Amino acid sequence: MPRDFVIRAARRDELRTIRDIENEADLVFRRVAMPWVLGMQPADRRLLERQRRRRRLWVAADGVNRAVGFALLTCVGGEAYLHQLSVIPRAARRGVGAALIETVCAAARGAGHRTLLLSTYAGVPWNAPYYARRGFDVVPPGAYSRAMRDLRHAERRQGHPVWRRVLMRRPL
């Protein structure tokens, strides 16, 4: 079955749209009584632009070339890190997220990384269970690196209840 979207590098003129995608995608957290997610700021525009220039920001574009999802790759302690993956609800369940993940994995592998790390909510169906189906495993807290512990502290400062979150890793 042909896909009704393409994955491509993000353009500079799409940075506002990318932030809007993140905000729209977060609306689904209302369904799981997690309203604090709605009040969080989307990815910083400077970070998006920096990673776009480094070819670490991708969008999924629909048939008229409008961005409907995006993935942002950064590094945490030298490890490839899926900083953000967001897909707007009307484009969900069509393989957009999976295709973005595979694009990020290929880029990380191409840059010499052996794993891809991410942080997500444990009990939300489109978070940890979704990533587990795509080859990610939970990293036990006892195995956290210094950088991972720092990431946890940063998430706490941003308003995430870290006791509901897990770090996950996928071999590349």
| 61 domain-assigned | yes
pLDDT, one tens digit per residue, over 14-66 is 999 999 998 888 878 776 666 666 667 788 999 999 999 999 999 999 989 99
- Give the percent of the chain with pLDDT over 70: 94
Query: Do residues 40 and 84 lie in contact, with contact meaning Cβ atoms separated by under 8 Å?
Result: no
Q: Is the dihedral of CA 71, 92, 136, 151 positive or negative?
A: positive
Report, as an integer, the average pLDDT of 69-82.
Answer: 96
Give the residue numbers spanning the domain of 162.
6-171
Distances (CA, A) of 22 to 25, 27, 30, 140: 5, 9, 14, 28
Q: How many Cβ atoms sit within 10 Å of the Cβ of residue 4? A: 13
* Model confidence at 129: pLDDT above 70: yes
Task: Provide the domain count of the chain.
Answer: 1
CATH number, residue 111: 3.40.630.30
| 1 domain-assigned | no
| 23 domain-assigned | yes
List, in sequence order, every beta strand (DSSP E) within 89-164: 115-121, 137-138
